[in-house]
Structure 1
Amino acid sequence: MKRTKKILQWLLVIILLVVILGTAYLQFTKPNYEGEYQLQHLEKETTVFYDDYGVPHIYADNQKDAMTTLGYVHAQDRLWQMELMRRIAPGRLAEIFGTPALKTDQFFAGIGIDENSAKAVKQLDKKSPTYILAQAYLDGINQYIDNGTTPVEIQLLGIKQEKFTLKDVYNILGFMSFSFAMAQKTDPLLTDIRDRFGMAYLKDFGINGELGIQQLQSHQGKYKEYSEISKSVAALLESSPVPAFIGSNSWVIGAEKTKNGKVILANDPHIMYAQPGTWYEAHIVCPDYEMYGYYIAGTPFPLLGHNRDYAYGLTMFENDDVDFFAEEENPNNPKQYQTPDGYKNYTYQQKIIKVKDSTEVKLNVKTSQHGPIVNGLLDGLQSDTSVAMSWIYTQQKNRILEAVYALSHSENLAHFHKSIEWIHAPGLNVMYGDAKGNIAWITSGKLYKLPKTVNGNFILNGANGTDDQKEWLPFAQNPQAINPPWHYVYSSNNQPAAINGYLYPGYYLPKDRAMRIDGLLKAKNDWTKEDVSKMIVDNTSATAETIVTQMTQPLQTNDFTSNEKQALSVLQSWKATHELKDIAPTIYNKWFYFYLKATLEDEFGEENFKLLLSTHIVKQLLENQTANAASPWWDNVTTKDKKETQSEILTKSFKQAVASLETQLGTDVSQWQWRKVHQVTFQHPIGKVKLFSGFFNVGPFPISGTNEVINNQLFIYTDEAVIPVKGGPSTRRIIDFSDIENSWSVLPTGQSGNPMSKHYSDQSELFVNGKFRKMKLNKKEIESASTKVVFQPAR
């Protein structure tokens, strides 16, 4: 007994020592927000003021010193995130996460981003400011790696740190560019629908189906399960430790429509939620340059920014910059594929993927004239059909780093406009406003026309010589509006109007947000920053009332229970708001799940149904299908002797929704509040492990908003008791040129990616409650409420 007691005492002592040492180590890893340090390669002393939310305000004698300092302070708060970001495109996640990351590595290593990055580095002018300042930024990161404290995540995973290079920067931008694209999740799925069920099933999706007679046949009998491509890519992006861009809002109000007679810019890029968040804020001040910017980890120039002269923001254009081609292989030689000029040889490249605690994996990448063959890079696709991925990003000259530098160093609107032409992919809506009263919406992307018989929404024919005939269009034909007579511009990933009679193909989101933004802006001529702050968190749907009417009219209510009648009454009196105390959104979105399940799952099966729920096209479907009683989707194909109707399906699914809510939230309909089901957790990659979730994750929080309102809080329809919000505004910014030193912003969690920093999650309460804090530009105000770090040139 005494022996056991002593053992227990020693165990307690050991545990206590581990806790003390662990706590001491974590304290040691805290970022340093004050003090004096030395940096090599500085010409003169540089001062950094950290404001009350941890934003560094860097005052330097020249831009090169400022960039070296930026690299150092950025790494101090986000080195772990930088490490993740640079590993995705070249396929190096399995080195730190092991076999679970192997599929992601195989795909990204195979699609050519790393090779494209190496080529871009060689082509970049080594005497250009872009190159010189980027290298200074990387120097700052690498000095932090040498002299700073190592993030706890890197210690836990045993990562051996390597110096950052310019190729890492391009790889990070390359991954972000790929994550913008929607074609890789959509084209294969739509092809399966067309080939399995016919074009009639695609009418509700709102795509252009004028494809020629043979492709309009109602059923082709034999089909390939191309949806396996969609499924695999969706799974890779879903499991990625780095969030993907998924949408965004922005609008710029001209001086003629503001109370103070100055331009106001608003922007909230939508990105999948994660911790750390996407953006790192930094304010740089030099004698010849000033910019308050938003930086992606590991990149030297801001994608969003403003100063006293101009401001700019981004949303996703959602144009089509990825195509898939089915190659016809030579039946006598599988190393060749058919072209209009005869058979050509595939090219082959072997890559080695290192896997933590396992043997390395050899990856053989096969490539046609259209791009890499995704068979072998993705799971599930039948091996007898070689499908190539053609992506504009890797096929056009890569000048994205030069473009981002130019956006943040523009001299005027004309200079700003010209730099956008260098961004061939991804397609972006670039929003602009300045102190002189100019406003603009300009799209980036190398746009093209396809022959009238070809629809890029489907897997294309790689052999016929027609499907790959692109007519490249001049940049002047990109959609844009510069100082329009209606005095405002906006973008919310909606389909732009036709140019010269041509609608650019893409994967645009429904009109809901665009309608709401346009309606609010059009009706008012005395906008203030305060008004815009309310608008940017607006929770009212522009289409929900119409859809509710379309869905409730066919209901068979004769045998409705009292709760079903009450739920219906709540919906019919609803004004389409999605506030925390609202009840209708809970019923509405639960009903959506069961109605979609009843209409889509019988054709697709459970896995592909879930996949479809994660795409933009299902959002396009809702308004069209609920208004179309003749839609073929209403019929359940598994009931051979019966043809179901819209009325039957909607009635059955409504009853299922109410029953589910009774089980999950109780029988009192008044308690079915949106706050109980609509919640967000900002999840860290290591926070997926339950043991570490409380330390690394931020949340959960109830949050207002929903899919496709201005306060766009994205989720996948589900029958779960809690709807996990997957993504939303990665920042909210309001730049008011009538009061430029007091413009507003907020991040979802905080500036720092270090869990021990007081700025790891200090903005989360502001964010979920729709509040803001200042983006400070006034030096006296900054100095009065900041800690101070001085960097001296190393001697």
Structure 2
Amino acid sequence: MKLLKKIVKVLFILLLLLVFTGWLVSKILQPKYNGELKLANLSDKVTVYFDEVGVPHINAQNQHDAYVALGYVHAQDRLWQMELIRRISAGRLSEIFGKELVRTDKFFSGLGIEEAAEKTIQQLDKNSEAYQLTQAYLDGINQFIAEGSTPLEFYLVGVEKEKYTIKDVYNVFGYMAFSFAVAHKTDPMLTEIKEKLGDVYFNELIEADSKNLTLIKNKKDTVLTASFAKAINEVMDKLPVSPLIGSNSWVIAPQKTKNGKVIFANDPHIAFSQPSVWYQSHIKTPDYEMYGYNLALTPFPLLGHNRNYAYGMTMFENDDVDFYYEENNPKNPLEYKTPNGYEQYKLIDKNIKIKGEKDTVCQVKVSKHGPVMNGLIDFIEDERPIAMQWIYTQLENKLLDVSYEMSHATSLEEFKQGASKIHAPGLNVMYGDAQDNIAWFAAAKLYKYRDSLYTKTILNGASRDDEIQRYLAFEENPQAINPSWNYVYSANNQPDSIAGMLYPGYYLPEDRARRIVNLLEDKNDWTQFQVSKMINDVTSPIVPEIVMHITKDVDETQLTASEKKAFHLLKNWDGTYGKNEVAPVIYTRLWYEFVKNTFKDEMGSAFEQFVNTPFEEKVVSNQVKKETSVWWDDVTTPEKETKKEIMNLSFQNTMLFLQKQLGENVDDWQWKRVTSVEYEHAIGKAGGLLRKFFNVGPFTTDGGDQVINNQIYKIDSTGYYKIHAGPSTRRVIDFSDVENSITILPTGQSGNVFSPYYKDQAEKYVNGEFVNMNLNEAAIKKSENKLVLLPKE
């Protein structure tokens, strides 16, 4: 008995020691939000007030000191995120995660991002303010690396901290630019369909690009295999950092607001992760103020506002990536054919370090169009060399100046000048100001091919007929300044014609665009509160139309009682994706069955690259309206199927699946039972206790695919829809009360798991709530957390 008591006592003491050690570690590794620190290269004291959600409000006497402070506080909250994102373009993920990411490193290291960065950095004006402030920001990061605590993740994966340079900043720009690109998901798939199925099948698909469009109107007023696609997709799926996907934004002119001032709204759609993509900060000096949203390792915000103006972005979705079949010299595989004869490929050797393994070396072949993908991606079945021409690496990169000038503009004209320097990725840049101006600019370096060339298939690299003929001037780009309809907007949809054509791209379906236009058109007394409700809207105006076309071919007389109930719920649905709704469950499964029964038999392996793409969504909206189509017939059967047979088969399969998945009672088929969202940390993906410790969620939420509150998921055979992307932040700025503008992040401001701001916004976000973006100096100074940064002597 005495022995048992001693064992219990020892175990209890060990438990106390373990708890105390855990508490001590958490305190040591937690970001420092209070007290004093001494930093080098400061000319004066900097005071940082952290508000109730951990946003640093940086007060400095000059911008240099402010950016040193920004680098330091950004790093203490997001150093792990910075480490991951700088490694992607450099091909250095395997160095910390092992051989599973060699394919990803091989691909990204061969895209030419690093080479383009080196070329750009050599040409930078080292005396420019943009360059000097970037170096100040990097200095702040590097001082935290040298003197601050090491994030837990660095210990867990065994990675040493390294100083950051301006090349890392450009590597982030490069990754951002590529994650916007869509051509690699669509062009190879369409090429395979054209070559293997022929023009009849191909032409029916591509007509969807010119049907069912809600166009962004232009107006310039005076200022007041699919094996290839599959391989790339698998590489992208391995990334531990979120790619950018879509977005909404609208800016309402004073004529349509209750208080007679501009209201600005923006919610960029990005793959969810933990930590959140954006880091918020508020900088104030005697000559400058900006409340901004920065990507990791970017000194100047891509989204921001102050008392004078607000700006944001959505993806333009223009086509800035083109693939070319190169023709090798049969006598020398290191040469390829051009209109002027054979030229040598440029050869670049890339060394990839692998954790626990020997280094591996890959050789990149580069033609005049760009790197040859066959050597960078495994399992490309096509033996023809496929080169990728990407405007980002082909033209001069001014993204550092772009982000500096947009965040430091003093007028709409200055802001436009900054936006005009964007070459890639293509962005819809949104603007509103306190002087009652609103504007939208489709910002990218656009270009024209010959009129008859369809650029969403792989082009002929040996022919001069498939080359770019001319680049467009920025003034030819789609844009609107103070239009007569009193609002501007973008939902990644097709802009109206420019340069005599609808500019080619990978624009998203019209669902969100039409809903935004419908809501804005009908109302002329908007308030910030009403816009905050609109940004959480979950109703699709397109879904009821698709349902109507599908259900009219279903034979209701042959349905059972429960099938009739489901049928009528679907038929009478208004397209609202509420978590307690039943119709979204029926519709989403019916979508899967319809797409599978219509397209899979002909497409074969290409089907997996067709589904869950914007192109598929546009095709389906068009396909349901057709009575006759080559796609209706199931080529695997001797009979020739009709549209009606496909529709009835799809509905029957839907009912059988849902009854098995969710039970016989249709009323129990609620949307929240099949959807959820979890914000995954790169280490939390390993599962078990690490998942519970690092990940945030899961949660149920309102919303669905292609509604304004865009919750993005894959529709597949499982019948469960794990939300993997959506609004990366929501912002509403009302210039009638700019000091009380509102925002929200999906999880929290900090990426440090021991920070109180790691996940404090998560439940507010899924519930559609907001927190303040405070500009009021008196209110900011009441913050409980105050960090004073002093110059080192």
TM-score by length of 2: 0.96
Q: C-alpha distance in 1, partners of 2:454/2:208?
A: 8
2:697 to 690, 696, 699: 699
How does 1:189-338 map onto structure 2 within 5 Å? 189-207=189-207, 226-338=225-337
Q: C-alpha distance in 2, partners of 1:239/1:385?
A: 26
Q: C-alpha distance in 1, partners of 2:444/2:19?
A: 53
Q: Relative to structure 1, is the Cα distance of residues 5 and 597 closer, same or farther in structure 2, using a 3 angstrom cutoff?
A: farther
Q: C-alpha distance in 2, partners of 1:428/1:610?
A: 28
Deviation at 1:558, TM superposition (A): 3.2
Q: C-alpha distance in 2, partners of 1:187/1:433?
A: 36
Q: Relative to structure 1, is the Cα distance of residues 608 and 24 closer, same or farther in structure 2, using a 3 angstrom cutoff?
A: farther
How does 1:399-410 map onto structure 2 within 5 Å? 399-410=398-409
2:739 to 741, 747, 760: 741
Does the CA contact (< 8 Å) of 1:746 and 1:771 recur in 2? yes
Deviation at 1:131, TM superposition (A): 0.5
Query: Which amino acid counterpart does residue 309 of structure 2 have in structure 1?
Result: Y
Deviation at 1:234, TM superposition (A): 1.2
How does 1:189-588 map onto structure 2 within 5 Å? 189-207=189-207, 226-382=225-381, 384-588=383-587
Query: Which amino acid counterpart does residue 475 of structure 1 have in structure 2?
Result: F
Aligned to 2:375, the other structure's residue is in SS state: coil
User: Any idea what the Cα deviations from partners look like across 1:285-321, whole Å, max 9, x if unmatched?
Assistant: 0000000000001110000000000000100000000
User: Any idea what the Cα deviations from partners look like across 1:491-525, whole Å, max 9, x if unmatched?
Assistant: 00000000242111100001111111111111111
Q: C-alpha distance in 2, partners of 1:537/1:84?
A: 31
Matched, 1:101 2:116: no
Deviation at 1:719, TM superposition (A): 3.3
Q: C-alpha distance in 2, partners of 1:420/1:53?
A: 31
User: Any idea what the Cα deviations from partners look like across 1:168-188, whole Å, max 9, x if unmatched?
Assistant: 000001100100000011111
Deviation at 1:209, TM superposition (A): 9.1
User: Any idea what the Cα deviations from partners look like across 1:701-724, whole Å, max 9, x if unmatched?
Assistant: 111111111111111112324310
2:644 to 629, 644, 647: 647
User: Any idea what the Cα deviations from partners look like across 1:638-657, whole Å, max 9, x if unmatched?
Assistant: 11x11122111111111111
Query: Which amino acid counterpart does residue 597 of structure 1 have in structure 2?
Result: K
Aligned to 2:68, the other structure's residue is in SS state: helix
1:668 to 661, 665, 670: 665
Deviation at 1:9, TM superposition (A): 9.3
2:632 maps to 634
1:118 maps to 118
Does the CA contact (< 8 Å) of 1:26 and 1:152 recur in 2? no
Q: Relative to structure 1, is the Cα distance of residues 381 and 9 closer, same or farther in structure 2, using a 3 angstrom cutoff?
A: farther
Deviation at 1:3, TM superposition (A): 11
Deviation at 1:674, TM superposition (A): 1.1
How does 1:44-123 map onto structure 2 within 5 Å? 44-123=44-123
- Overall identity of the aligned pairs, in %: 50
Which structure 2 residue ranges, 5 or more long, are not aligned? 211-224
Deviation at 1:201, TM superposition (A): 2.1
Matched, 1:139 2:139: yes
Query: Which amino acid counterpart does residue 93 of structure 1 have in structure 2?
Result: L
Q: C-alpha distance in 2, partners of 1:13/1:108?
A: 51
Query: Which amino acid counterpart does residue 184 of structure 1 have in structure 2?
Result: H
1:220 maps to none
Does the CA contact (< 8 Å) of 2:261 and 2:436 recur in 1? yes
TM-score by length of 1: 0.95
Q: C-alpha distance in 2, partners of 1:682/1:715?
A: 13
1:213 maps to none
Q: C-alpha distance in 2, partners of 1:384/1:10?
A: 68
1:214 maps to none
Q: Relative to structure 1, is the Cα distance of residues 208 and 455 closer, same or farther in structure 2, using a 3 angstrom cutoff?
A: farther
Does the CA contact (< 8 Å) of 2:186 and 2:609 recur in 1? no
Deviation at 1:614, TM superposition (A): 3.0
How does 1:7-18 map onto structure 2 within 5 Å? 17=17
Aligned to 2:464, the other structure's residue is in SS state: coil
Deviation at 1:196, TM superposition (A): 1.3
Aligned to 1:632, the other structure's residue is in SS state: coil
User: Any idea what the Cα deviations from partners look like across 1:71-108, whole Å, max 9, x if unmatched?
Assistant: 00000100000000100001000000010111110000
Deviation at 1:207, TM superposition (A): 4.6
Q: C-alpha distance in 1, partners of 2:660/2:12?
A: 44
Q: Relative to structure 1, is the Cα distance of residues 610 and 17 closer, same or farther in structure 2, using a 3 angstrom cutoff?
A: farther
Q: C-alpha distance in 2, partners of 1:435/1:264?
A: 10
Does the CA contact (< 8 Å) of 1:741 and 1:777 recur in 2? yes
1:184 maps to 184
User: Any idea what the Cα deviations from partners look like across 1:568-604, whole Å, max 9, x if unmatched?
Assistant: 0101111111111111111100111111122222223
Does the CA contact (< 8 Å) of 1:188 and 1:229 recur in 2? yes
Q: Relative to structure 1, is the Cα distance of residues 208 and 651 closer, same or farther in structure 2, using a 3 angstrom cutoff?
A: closer
User: Any idea what the Cα deviations from partners look like across 1:47-80, whole Å, max 9, x if unmatched?
Assistant: 0000000000000000000000000000010000
Q: Relative to structure 1, is the Cα distance of residues 461 and 4 closer, same or farther in structure 2, using a 3 angstrom cutoff?
A: farther
Q: Relative to structure 1, is the Cα distance of residues 39 and 721 closer, same or farther in structure 2, using a 3 angstrom cutoff?
A: same
Does the CA contact (< 8 Å) of 1:243 and 1:274 recur in 2? yes
Q: Relative to structure 1, is the Cα distance of residues 209 and 276 closer, same or farther in structure 2, using a 3 angstrom cutoff?
A: closer
Aligned pairs, how many? 778
Deviation at 1:346, TM superposition (A): 1.1
Deviation at 1:26, TM superposition (A): 2.7
RMSD across aligned positions (CA): 1.9
